[in-house]
Amino acid sequence: MLNILSIEDLVFFVQKYCDIIIVALFCIGVTYLITKAWKRAAKEREEIPGRLGVPLIGETLSFLSAANSTKGCYDFVRLRRSWHGKWFKTRLFGKIHVYVPSTEGARTVFANDFVQFNKGYVKSMADCVGEKSLLCVSVENHKRIRRLLSDPFSLNSLSSFVEKFDKMLCGRLQKLEASGKSFKVLDFSMKMTFDSMCNMLMSVTEDLLLQQIEQDCTAVSDAMLSFPFMIPGTRYYKGIKARRRLMQRFREIIERRRRGEDSKEDFLQSMLRRDSYPSTEKLDDSEIIDNLLTLIIAGQTTTAAAMMWSVKFLDNNREVLDKFREEQLSITRKKAEGASLTLEDLNDMAYGKKVIKETLRMSNVLLWFPRVALEDTKIEGHEIKKGWHVNVDATCIHYDPDLYKDPLIFNPSRFDEMQKPYSYIPFGSGPRTCLGMNMAKVTMLVFLHRLTSGYTWTIDDSDTCLEKKAHIPRLRSGCPITLKSLRDGI
């Protein structure tokens, strides 16, 4: 080149075309950087970041250690999200899990439930709640069983439940106030939800029988996620034994009803009334008893935990409590002394309903909803392989500052505005939406109505640590309170 062009020629060339050369170099540089960034982004879009660790074990030990701490198992998720970003994958108990953090991802999973995704089959769970439980059956049976179970849980059918629950609640709160003793809201709400559900489902009201059924249901619930080996002393063994006793009891109740020795108006009776219907329009006995057990187990701990959190959140937010109490007192003033609450009264609790919504948003009783991918698929551009577990992360969505301003602040009035689709999912969504959501909401409303319109309380232990080894977040203290009648202060 130098033979043809002298140095002077070169300098002259560069000087003459200096602008063009700079622009050309600039363009090449920018194109190079954009291509590199695009390739990296494309790779990231496909590959979800995360640490899979060694096969089988992966990050199981870290997960168990979080579950065994007073921060709760969601701390495991929170930490990984801070390391890897919103989308991350991990390996737990030998399976790859992806945590789905967005409304768009939730929509994809819920809209394709039973088609591209399904609940994973867990042997211990099927052994405990039964093969005919809504939690275990195939898609065709699920549709039929759910349709037949749904009616007694519709809002209209819950009016007698509201009145019965209200009576039971008033009596128990009065006794507790009169005793002047501190009691744990969690224990109280566990007993209340259990007794009222057994009453609504099969009219069981005797104390001893209730106690025996509750003990057995707790043993079954504890065994649902255990190793399925029938070794005496293990949780699984105790759970299976408890299930056998429960099935025997439920069958006896059904037989007494069929012999006409016992006639009650309840959920069970509404199922037995279908005895002469074609098979597509009724449940057989094993479907009835498996789902009685499922309803009790799915309904008790969830509702009880939410009731406990509602007391804690109201106590921490006095302005909200005052506004809520004012609405409840305005309803009490309109009613005759000693009259029970009705569904219509609950409809007048516009602010109360928002308090319940906000409690469920913040407490995240079910932290995430697990599914398994039935085929290779994509969620929001992220590749998901067949067999991977995808967990719709309700907690992440409920605490997303782009969806909820100041998400850590308890502010029921945020629900004055409409929510974006799939941004509020405490009861899930799609074909598996919670069957008992109306029942849970009315239970919480009646409870908070009686508590705030009849009493003030003090929390006797302000410890904020969570219970260890619990898959539902609950205060370790159980939230002990002492009641004082509101009349004493007037």
Q: What are the Cα distances from residue 423, in Å, to 55, 403, 428, 484?
A: 34, 7, 10, 38
Complex with ligand HEM: residue 288 or 439, whichever CB lies closer = 439
Min separation Cβ 269 and ligand HEM, Å: 17
What is the enclosing helix (H) or strand (E) of 128? Answer: helix 123-129
Could you tell me if 417 and 318 are in contact, meaning their C-beta atoms sit under 8 angstroms apart? no
Q: How far is the CB of 136 from ligand HEM (least distance, A)?
A: 9
Smallest distance, ligand HEM to C-beta of residue 432, A? 4
- Residue 238 or 365 with smaller CB distance to ligand HEM: 365
With residue 145 as reference, give the H or E element that holds it.
helix 139-150
Kindly state the smallest distance separating residue 193's Cβ from ligand HEM, in Å: 7
Return d(Cα 80, Cα 99) in angstroms, integer.
Answer: 10
Q: How far is CA 98 from the centre of its chain?
A: 18
Residue number, 39 or 264, with CB nearest to ligand HEM: 264
Instruction: For ligand HEM, give the closer residue by CB, 125 or 242.
Output: 125
* Binding region for ligand HEM (CB under 6 A): 134-135, 146, 197, 294-295, 298-299, 302-303, 306, 365-366, 369, 426-428, 432, 434-436, 439-440
> Are residues 237 and 230 in contact, defined by beta-carbon separation less than 8 angstroms?
yes
Distances (CA, A) of 359 to 317, 440, 454, 467: 12, 12, 21, 18
Nearest CB to ligand HEM, comparing residues 219 and 390: 390
Q: For residues 306 and 483, which CB has a smaller minimum distance to ligand HEM in the complex?
A: 306
- We find the least distance from the C-beta atom of residue 394 to ligand HEM, in angstroms, to be 7
CB of 398 to ligand HEM, least distance (A): 12
Neighbours of 129 (CB within 10 A): 26
State the nearest-atom distance from the C-beta of 42 to ligand HEM, in Å: 32
State in angstroms the smallest separation of the CB of 114 from ligand HEM.
Answer: 10
**Other residues' Cβ atoms within 10 Å of the Cβ of residue 347:** 10
Provide the terminal-to-terminal Cα distance of the chain, rounded to the nearest Å. 103
Burial 276-303 (b: 16+ CB within 10 A, else e): eeeeeebbebebbbbbbbbbbbbbbbbb
Distance (Å, whole) CA 124 – CA 109: 25
CB of 419 to ligand HEM, least distance (A): 16
Q: Give 123 or 334: the residue with its C-beta nearer to ligand HEM.
A: 123
What is residue 460's three-state secondary structure? coil
Return the number of the residue (155 or 486) whose C-beta is nearest ligand HEM: 155
SS3 88: strand
Sequence-ordered list of residues with C-beta below 8 angstroms from that of 140, at least 6 positions apart, any chain: none
Q: How far is the CB of 302 from ligand HEM (least distance, A)?
A: 4
Nearer to ligand HEM, 238 or 432 (CB): 432
What's CA 6's distance to the chain center, in Å?
A: 79
Alpha carbon distance 191, 36 (integer Å): 61
Cross-strand bridge partners of residue 184: 480
Nearer to ligand HEM, 136 or 177 (CB): 136
In whole angstroms, the minimum distance from the beta carbon of 197 to ligand HEM comes to 6
For ligand HEM, give the closer residue by CB, 177 or 197: 197
Which residue's CB atom is positioned nearest to ligand HEM? 436
Residue given tokens 């069970």 in the structure block: 268
State the maximum Cα–Cα separation within the chain, in Å, rounded to a whole number: 116
